[in-house]
Amino acid sequence: ASVLEIKNLHVEIDGKEILKGVDLTIKQGEIHAVMGPNGTGKSTLAQAIMGHPSYEVTEGEVLLDGENILEMEVDERAQAGLFLGMQYPSEISGVTNSDFLRSAINAQREEGDEINLMQFIKKLDKNMEYLEMDPDMATRYLNEGFSGGEKKRNEILQLMMLEPKFGILDEIDSGLDIDALRVVSEGINKLRGQEFGSLIITHYQRLLNYITPDVVHVMMKGKVVKSGGKELAERLESEGYDWIKEELGIDD
Ligand code: ADP
Ligand code: MG
Ligand code: MG
């Protein structure tokens, strides 16, 4: 199985250190949740892994099976088997969702081994049905006029079509109504298995009622300060974060 290791990751935005040495290891087959108060660096972690140019890694590494992905271009990271939610420009005009998905799949494959069109369409139809998506979503231009919920569903559709080794999902649950949340969670649960690992970043425990994480990490002030099982998320839901601050002697 593949392993994704985040080691002593330090990240700055505009010269200000946001991540102060994040350590985290995920094995394929596992779902990890990252929780934490607002402004603690959760999105920064996702952005740094996805190679957003505003986020400067000053120390540490992110290894996919021993290879430092921070030295790769963004498309190489995808080819190596990482799915980074929202790595794509939010709106691309003139490219349909279906065309985009097909070229994203083919970009991961060797030349001459492109996905068969019929196979692609079958897989797309099946996954869209599973996600309760309007068939029109396939032929609409990528993200143009997609509602918040449609964008999230579409992100899970990308995940189901690309079948990456690891998916990094930031706030996949934000702004979703309960039906969309259920569908999005079912999509992730369907991918769950030996071939898929995920880092699910969320501010709310709500999502974790639908997706049971194998490991829960708490981030505070730019570091992972505590890890545990799903009961950790339950305790955070009922008690908030103060007890962790007390336990670890963190002041605001
Ligand atoms: P979280 O996702 O945990 O809520 P973020 O990673 O979004 O936290 O933000 C961590 C810190 O970095 C916050 O203090 C935030 O104000 C700051 N920050 C995030 N993005 C930027 C940016 N583009 N420029 C300056 N500061 C930023
Ligand atoms: Mg350090
Ligand atoms: Mg965030």
**Residue 154 CB–ligand 1 contact under 6 Å:** no
**Residue 47 CB–ligand 1 contact under 6 Å:** no
pLDDT reading at 47 higher than 60: yes
Domain assignment of residue 97, yes or no: no
Q: Cα(170) to centroid of ligand 3, in Å?
A: 7
Domain assignment of residue 85, yes or no: yes
Q: Residue 179 region, left (φ>0) first, then alpha (ψ -120 to 50), else beta?
A: alpha
What CATH code is carried by the domain that includes residue 175?
A: 3.40.50.300
**Residue 18 CB–ligand 1 contact under 6 Å:** yes
The protein residue with its alpha carbon nearest to ligand 1, atom 18, reads 13
Q: What is the residue range of 45's domain?
A: 3-92+164-248
Contact 128, 138 (CB under 8 A): yes
Q: How would residue 163 be classed by pLDDT, with cut points 50, 70 and 90? A: very high
Q: 62, 84, 92: which is closest to 2 by C-alpha?
A: 62
pLDDT reading at 22 higher than 90: yes
Residue with tokens 């935005």: 13
**Residue 52 CB–ligand 1 contact under 6 Å:** no
**Residue 136 CB–ligand 1 contact under 6 Å:** no
Distances (CA, A) of 162 to 18, 35, 48, 101, 239: 31, 26, 21, 8, 38
pLDDT reading at 220 higher than 70: yes
pLDDT reading at 77 higher than 50: yes
Task: Establish how many alpha carbons lie within 13 A of residue 211's alpha carbon, considering only the half-sphere containing its beta carbon.
Answer: 33
85-131 pLDDT, tens digit each = 754 445 667 889 999 999 889 988 888 999 999 999 999 999 999 99
pLDDT reading at 61 higher than 90: yes
Domain assignment of residue 140, yes or no: no
> Chain centroid to CA 71: how far?
20
pLDDT score recorded for residue 87: 47
Distances (CA, A) of 175 to 117, 151, 179: 34, 11, 12
Q: Considering its fold, how many domains does the chain have in total?
A: 1
pLDDT reading at 188 higher than 70: yes
Task: Average the pLDDT over 17-42 and give the result.
Answer: 97
Task: Average the pLDDT over 62-72 and give the result.
Answer: 97
Q: 19, 17, 175: which is closest to 8 by C-alpha?
A: 19
Task: Average the pLDDT over 188-210 and give the result.
Answer: 92
Q: How would residue 203 be classed by pLDDT, with cut points 50, 70 and 90? A: confident
Task: Average the pLDDT over 169-191 and give the result.
Answer: 90
Q: Which ligand is nearest to the CA of 7?
A: 2
Domain assignment of residue 132, yes or no: no
- pLDDT over 90 percentage in the chain: 72
Task: Average the pLDDT over 193-206 and give the result.
Answer: 91
Q: Flag the least confident range among 35-39, 70-74, 81-85.
A: 81-85
Domain assignment of residue 106, yes or no: no
Query: Relative to the CA of 219, which ligand 1 atom is closest?
Result: 3
Whole-structure pTM value: 0.92
Beta bridge partner(s), residue 63: 5, 68
- As a dihedral over the C-alpha atoms of residue 224, residue 44, residue 184, residue 151, rounded to 10 degrees, the angle is 180
Contact 194, 2 (CB under 8 A): no
Domain assignment of residue 102, yes or no: no
Query: Relative to the CA of 171, which ligand 1 atom is closest?
Result: 2
Domain assignment of residue 139, yes or no: no
Domain assignment of residue 40, yes or no: yes
Residue 194 and residue 27: Cα distance in Å, rounded?
9
**Residue 174 CB–ligand 1 contact under 6 Å:** no
Q: Cα(203) to centroid of ligand 3, in Å?
A: 7
Angle CA 175–176–179, to nearest 5: 165
Q: Cα(16) to centroid of ligand 1, in Å?
A: 10
The protein residue with its alpha carbon nearest to ligand 1, atom 23, reads 13
